[in-house]
Structure 1
Amino acid sequence: MDVVRFAFRLCGRVGAGLALAAASLAAVAQAAVAEVPDAALREQLRATLQQAAAAHPGVPPGARTVVELGRLDARLRLAPCERIEPQWPASAWGAVRVGLRCTAGPTRWHVHLPATVQVLAPGWVAAADLAAGTELEAAHLRRAEVDLAAGGVVEQPLLLGRTLARPLAAGAPVRAADLRARQWFAAGDVVQVVAVGRGYRISGQGQAMAAGIEGQRVRVRTDSGRIVTGVPVAPSRVEVTL
C-alpha cells in the first residue's frame, strides 16, 4: 500500500467553546471501511476527544476521561483516500459521532465514527437497593467513581432529605433525574421575583399563578399587575431572565 500523509485541521467548537489545536499525521490509505480510520488516525482522534473532554469547564479537578472509539459498518466499502478530515461533534461528553470526510481521492465519501466519552470523577451512589419514595439520608449513600457524562451528579448536601422518584440499585449513581421535583410554593402564594439581566439584578414581589415546581416555568403577577414567567429556584422565589 502507498503511504500518504493525512493533513487535517482540528478546529471548531467542542462542548462549551473548546478550540481544538491543529494536528497532522501520516497514515496508510485503506480500501475497506472496516480499516478506516487506521490505527494512527484512530489514536489521533482518541487523543483529541480526550483533550476536549478534559478541558470542558464542567470537569472537576481530579477527574479522568476515557474515550472508546467504535467501528464503522464492516459491510461497507470505501475508495482509497489520500486525505481524511475529521468533523468534530458539538458535545464533548457522552455518546458522540465523529465525521470522517474524504477530501482527496478518486471518490469522495463521508462517514461517521461512533465514540463514547466518559468523564469519571468521585460522586455518590446508592449504598444498597433503594425503593422509589425513599427520603435520602447519609446512610443511603456512599462515595464512588461515577461517569459525569451520563447525567448530572448531585453533591451529597443537596441529596440529603430529597425523595427518590424511581428505585435505584446498589451502586447506581444518584442523579438529578432520579429525584422527585420539589414544590417551592403553591398557587396564590406571595413570592419574591428576581429579574436578572446583563449587568443588573432587580427584585420585587408577586403572586404565583400556579404551583412552583422545581424545573418548571411558572407565571407570576407582579404588584404592578404585569404577568412575568420565570423558574422557581428556592422556597417562595422565582427567577426571571431578561
Structure 2
Amino acid sequence: MKEHRGIATGLLAAMLWLGTAWSGDARADAASGATQSPDSVRAVAEQAVREHYALPGSRVVVSSAPLDLRLHLAACREPLRAVIPQYAAASSRMTVRVQCPQDGGWTVRVPLKLQLFRSVLVASRPLQRGDGLSAADVRAEEKDVTRLGYGYIEDLGQVAGRTLARSLASGSVLSPGALGGRRMVRAGDHVEMVARLDGIEVRAAGVAMGSGDNGARLRVRNESSGKVVDAMVSAPGVVVALP
C-alpha cells in the first residue's frame, strides 16, 4: 500500500508540474497572439512630427487617419520608434514610418496631415515693382507655411536693401521670388539727375528722397536749385527726371 501511495503521490506531483508548465505555455501563446493598438502607432507618429517641427514661434497641428482595419501587428515589447528624415521639408501631407525595433519587428507607414503655422510678412498695402520695402509696407500674419509653395519671409531684415521684382496686392505673402536685387538708389544718396527734352540732355547733381530699384519712381532734390522733381531710377546712382 505504501508503494502504491508513493506512486500515486509521484503521479500527482508530475501532473501538477505538467499543469503548471502547460499554463505557462498558454500564457506565452496568448502573449504572442497579442496585437499592437493602431491608435498607439498613430500617436507615436503624430508626436514625432510635433516634436520635429516644434521650432520657436511655430504652432503645429497634425492628425492621422485610422489605419487599415485589416492590419494586425504583433504587440511590440520595445518602445515604438518613428523615423523622420532630419531635413524633411514641411508638407501638408506626409508619411511617417513607425518601427517596432525588436528582433522580427515590423514597420508601418502612417499617413499624416500637417499644418505648420508661422508668423510671415504680408503686404499691408498695394506695392509696385521696384519699390523698396519698409516696416510700413508689411505686417506680420500667422499662415500655414506648408501651403506657401513659393516660400515666405519672416523678418524685414531678410529683405534689407531689396526691391520688389513684381507688384503685390495688399495681403499678399512676401516671398523670396517677389524680391529683386538690391536697391540701386537709397534715400539720401547723391545721384546724377538726367533730363531729356527734344533730343537735348542735361545732367545735374541731386539727392534722392526715396529708395528704389530700376524703374522705381521717387522724388529727387536738385542740389543746385533745391527744386524737388519726380524721377525714375535707370541705373545705380542715376535717375531720369520725369516730365
TM tier, smaller: 0.3 to 0.5
Q: Which has the higher strand share?
A: 1
Q: Return the TM-score normalized by structure 2.
A: 0.43
Q: Return the TM-score normalized by structure 1.
A: 0.43
